[in-house]
Chains A and B, each alone.
Chain A
């Protein structure tokens, strides 16, 4: 299922005509029921969402112009951050709409077929695998956990609590100016080391505790160094949480947050997300 491109019946470099943008894949009956009600906008304005069904699986799709979503056109569109952000948000709105009503396999942004036959073929060829993912994700959502560290609070806390640092400070007080200077340098290094250890331990604790309330977790890469009023982002996780277990998951996160607050560690939950991070096999 990985991304080698199939032999196209037509060349993807076409810039005329239309293709199909695919958002997510769901159980056919559930998808048909959802579109009986109101549904969000498609990725292109003034275009309706459509369903393409093959047996038990249905792809949620919409028509897109190849003048924008054709291979070459898309590449240049993607360079426009605003265009990309807006279209990515619309992708998300559609996936969220379906994910909040049934179990879906969310697809990554930018999966386009030239015709509906290609989608039917994909559904048929991957039926077993896709059905397995739909079942694995059923009744579950993804929660993001961001861990921030306020360095100043953490440093102060370490200075007050570490026996080793307290001892070094006592020594520095009684030392000659030259020695005191060197000791002060050592204290700084020691503090930085202990801070690192403390952050790593907090991150491990959070991961372990929350794992007990989830059906899986994955550590995510940090996009950029984010420094907020709560400190610097130190780690990001995604947890797959049974909807019925969310209360206990949140309670556990809150308890951790309370315990760690005084050492400058802050926990933030984001979600519920469609299970993007758990959609691959």
Chain B
């Protein structure tokens, strides 16, 4: 993701919110046998705003995000969520 000349902390937080916005809110809604309802999505957002304002948790997720790097992904399979 490109965040032009934003500072790192901002960029990270922004990118997290932006990503969650895309994934949770957009994308084709197709009739799965189990699908998150629209009401759920709004609830998720309420809690995510709290999440993002909490630096510690945001960092935890961002480390997860950093694992998006493919080279890392292959080797560090089970580090992040094991606590």
Contact = CB atoms under 8 A, between A and B. Distances in A.
Contacts of B16: 85, 89
A88 B68 contact: no
A248 B11 CA distance: 24
B29 A271 contact: no
Contact of B43 (A5, A78, A106, A272): A78
B10 A228 contact: yes
A74 interface: yes
Contacts of A45: 77-78, 81
A126 interface: yes
Most A CB atoms within 10 A — which of B4, B26, B47? B26
Chain B contact residues (Cβ within 8 angstroms of A): what range? 35 or more
A242 interface: no
A39 B50 CA distance: 32
B68 A78 contact: no
A18 B7 CA distance: 42
18 contacts: A3-B35, A4-B31, A12-B33, A19-B33, A45-B81, A46-B78, A85-B61, A86-B61, A86-B80, A88-B23, A92-B68, A97-B70, A223-B17, A229-B7, A229-B10, A269-B4, A276-B26, A279-B28
